[in-house]
Amino acid sequence: MAGRVVRQERAVRTRATLLRAAAEVFAESGYAGANVSAIADRAGLTLGALYFHFRNKGDLAREIVLSQPGLVVPPHKSEGLQHAVDVTLTWAYRLLDNPVLLAGARLVMEQEHFVEPSENSHQQWTRVVSEDLYEARRRGELRADVDVEALSRIVVNACTGAQMHSHLETSRRDLPMRVEEMWHCLLLAMAEPGVLDRVEFGVSRARGA
């Protein structure tokens, strides 16, 4: 039994090492430019070890993309609109130095090679945002005429576009500011007036006090 536990723990560590190495390679080279030999070398493992855990680079890329929301957990407990803001700000700040999130940002335009349209990053992030916005509606934070599904897509589209432009113009250094700008514009159109003054921004929403 003890031997099995040790092997399982070793397998978990190896898998995590491969995913981090793959994330670094994808972030640098994109999906088309990456290859399994470079990923195995970056991980300090053999190709055999890589193929034991993943069939190909598509499996690695798919797991990296699908893992993105789980890496974006705001440090403060919140609900509704505040949680939607916190999630996007946490993503914007952590993207600056998290290799898996950076890989997801680089892979966003190549997802047709390794994920189905129904599970790509746009769809999964839209579901995350829509959950918060439906909760905001239940809490009376949204105007009655707001289309939650459309607004969720707009938030994800705006964050994706902000990430791309920020990457080109400032190496993403101003991405958090761009996300805040987006929310300041959207909240005027979507939120009940009394809610606006209660929504908090700033690095503490993403990094913690």
pLDDT in tens, 121-140: 999 999 999 999 999 999 99
110: closest CA among 173, 45, 34? Answer: 34
- What domains appear along the chain, each with residue ranges and CATH number? 2-61 (1.10.10.60), 68-207 (1.10.357.10)
**Residue 81: HSE in the Cβ half-sphere, 13 Å Cα cutoff:** 26
Instruction: Determine contact, residues 107/27, Cβ cutoff 8 Å.
Output: no
What's the whole-model pTM score?
0.90
pLDDT, position 7? 65
Tell me the per-residue pLDDT of 15-27, one tens digit each, with 9 for 90 and over: 999 999 999 999 9
Question: What is the Cα 116 distance to its own chain's centre?
Answer: 17
CA angle 68, 122, 120 (to 5 degrees): 75
How far apart, in Å, are the Cα atoms of 66 and each of 61, 62, 111, 114, 190? 9, 6, 11, 11, 29
Q: Helices marked H in 45-200 — which ranges?
A: 47-53, 57-66, 80-94, 99-107, 121-138, 148-170, 175-190, 193-196
Task: State the Cα–Cα distance between residues 45 and 38, nearest whole angstrom.
Answer: 10
Confidence bin at 117 (pLDDT 50/70/90): confident
The average pLDDT across 9-17 equals 90
